Amino acid sequence: MMKRKEFILGAAVGLTFAAAATAGGVIDWPGANAAERPTAAGRLIPSAGAAGLAFAPPQGAPLSFADIFEQVAPAVVQIDVETPVERPRGGVIPIPGLPGFGFQAPDTQQPGEEEEPRTAQGAGSGFFISADGFIVTNNHVVANATKITVKLSDGRELSGRLVGRDQDTDLAVIKVEGSDFSFVSFEEAAEPRVGDWVIAVGNPFGLGGTATAGIVSARAREIGDSSTPYTDYLQIDAAINRGNSGGPTFDIYGRVIGVNSAIFSPTGGSVGIGFAIPANIAKSVTDRLMSGQAIQRGYLGVQIQNLLDDYRRSLGLPDDQEGAYIAEVTPGGPGEQSGLRAGDIVVSLNGQPITSSTELTRRVGQASPGDTLRLEIIREGRRQTLNVRSGTRPADVNAQANPTDEDPNIQPGRPQAPAGEVVEGMTVAPITEALRSRYSIDENVRGLVITGVAETSRAGRAQVPAGAVIMQANGRPVSSVAELREVIAAARTANRDSVLLLFRIPQGNRPFVLELEAK
Output the 3-class SS for 384-448: EEEEEECEECCCCCCCCCCCCCCCCCCCCCCCCCCCCEEECCEEEEECCHHHHHHHCCCCCCCCE
Residue numbers annotated as active site: 140, 170, 245
Residue scoring higher pLDDT (12 or 494) = 494
DSSP assignment letter at 247:
-
DSSP sequence for 155-216: S-EEEEEEEEEETTTTEEEEEES-S---B--B--SSPP-TT-EEEEEE-GGG--SEEEEEEE
Contact present, 277 and 26 (Cβ < 8 Å): no
Look at residues 127, 124, 91 and name the one whose alpha carbon lies nearest to residue 109.
Answer: 91
**Alpha carbon separation from 133 to 73, 128, 249, 451, 458 (Å, rounded):** 15, 7, 20, 64, 63
**Identity (one letter) of the amino acid at 495?**
N
For residue 370, what pLDDT is reported? 87
Give me the mean pLDDT over the 279-302 stretch.
Answer: 87
CA distance 293 to 363: 20
pLDDT band at 173 (very low <50, low <70, confident <90, very high): very high
Cβ neighbour number for residue 90 with a 10 Å cutoff: 8
Q: Which of 125, 123, 44, 138 is nearest to 77 (CA)?
A: 125
CA distance 127 to 518: 63
Share of the chain above pLDDT 70, in %: 76
CA distance 345 to 62: 49
Please, which pLDDT band fits residue 9 given cuts at 50, 70 and 90? Answer: very low
CB atoms within 10 A of CB 89: 5
Residue 361 main-chain phi, psi, to 5 deg: -60, -45
Q: Is pLDDT above 70 for 226?
A: no
Longest CA span, the chain: 83
Q: In 3-state terms, what secondary structure has residue 3?
A: coil
Average pLDDT over residues 363-377: 89
In contact, 257 and 249? CB cutoff 8 Å = yes
Q: Give whole-number Cα distances, 485 to 421, 463, 492, in Å.
A: 11, 21, 11
* Identity of the residue numbered 92: V
Closest CA to 464 of 451, 475, 478, 473: 451
Distance from C-alpha of 283 to C-alpha of 295, rounded to nearest angstrom: 13
Closest CA to 204 of 68, 21, 410: 21
* pLDDT given for residue 348 in this prediction: 92
SS3 483: helix
Q: How far apart, in whole angstroms, are the C-alpha atoms of residue 424 and residue 459?
A: 7
Rounded Cα distance between 513 and 462, Å, is: 10
Alpha-carbon span 367 to 347, nearest angstrom: 17
Q: Can you tell me the mean pLDDT for 338-357?
A: 91
Is the per-residue pLDDT at 310 higher than 80? yes
What number of residues does the chain have? 519
End-to-end CA distance of the chain, in Å? 70
Give the closest residue to 160 by CA, choosing from 146, 178, 145, 175: 175
Choose the weakest-confidence range: 3-12, 67-76, 433-442: 3-12
Give which of 172, 183, 173 is closest to 255, Cα–Cα: 183
What domains appear along the chain, each with residue ranges and CATH number?
1-51+61-108+116-295 (2.40.10.120), 298-392 (2.30.42.10), 421-515 (2.30.42.10)
Q: What integer best gives the mean pLDDT of the chain?
A: 78
Peptide bond just before 465 cis, omega within 30 deg: no
Nearest by Cα to 12 from 100, 124, 103, 97: 97
Q: Give the model's confidence band at 388: pLDDT under 50 very low, under 70 low, under 90 confident, else very high.
A: very high
Phi, then psi, of 516 in degrees rounded to 5:
-75, 145
Burial class (CB in 10 A: 0-12, 13-18, 19+), 227: middle
Cβ–Cβ under 8 Å, residues 131 and 20: no
The 3-state DSSP class for residue 234 equals strand
Burial 99-122 (b: 16+ CB within 10 A, else e): eeebeebeeeeeeeeeeeebbbbb
> How much is the pLDDT for 463?
85
Assign 57 to helix, strand or coil. coil
pLDDT band at residue 237 under the 50/70/90 scheme: confident
Q: Does residue 73 come out as left (phi exceeding 0), alpha (psi in the -120 to 50 range) or beta?
A: alpha
Least confident segment among 246-250, 294-298, 313-317, 476-480: 294-298
CB atoms within 10 A of CB 150: 23
Which distant-in-sequence residues (6+ apart) come within 8 Å of 218 by Cβ?
A: 194, 234, 235
User: Between 107 and 148, where is the model more confident?
Assistant: 148
Is the pTM higher than 0.75? The answer reads no
Buried b / exposed e over 311-333, threshold 16 CB at 10 Å, is bbebbebeeeebbbbbbbbbeeb
